[in-house]
Chains A and B, each alone.
Chain A
Amino acid sequence: MPVNATHDDPERARRFREAALPHLDDVYTLARYLLRDATDAEDAVQECYLRALKHFDGYRGPAMKPWLFAILRNVCRAEFARRASSPTGAIEDVPEGAEQTPLWNEAQETPEAQMLRTRDAATVRRLVSALAEPFRETFVLREINNLSYREIADAVGAPVGTVMSRLARARAMLRSAWMAEEEQPR
Chain B
Amino acid sequence: MTCDEAEILLHALMDGELDAGHAREVEEHIAGCAACAAQLAAYREMSQAIAAADMKYTAPLALRRRIEASLPQGQTRAPSRRAVLRGFAMGSAVSAIAAPGLVAIVLRNDASIRRLFRRICVRCRPGI
Contacts and interface: CB of A to CB of B under 8 A. Distances in A.
A13 to B, nearest CB: 4
Contact of B11 (A13, A53, A120, A167): A167
Bin chain B's interface residue count.
35 or more
Contacts of A49: 67, 70
A132 B90 CA distance: 57
B26 to A, nearest CB: 12
Contacts of A3: 72
Contacts of B128: none
B57 A29 contact: yes
Interface stretch (A14-22, A57-65, A69-77): A14-22
Given A112-B38, A112-B45, A116-B42, A124 B8 contact: no
B55 A13 contact: no
Nearest to B51: A143
Given A119-B49, A165-B8, A46 B66 contact: yes
A67 interface: no
Contacts of A118: 49, 52
A103 interface: yes
A24 interface: yes
10 contacts: A14-B73, A14-B115, A17-B71, A42-B60, A53-B70, A115-B46, A116-B49, A121-B54, A128-B55, A174-B46
Given A42-B62, A49-B67, A164-B17, 17 more contacts: A8-B72, A12-B72, A13-B73, A25-B56, A29-B55, A29-B56, A29-B57, A50-B70, A104-B7, A116-B42, A119-B53, A120-B53, A121-B53, A125-B53, A143-B50, A164-B9, A174-B46
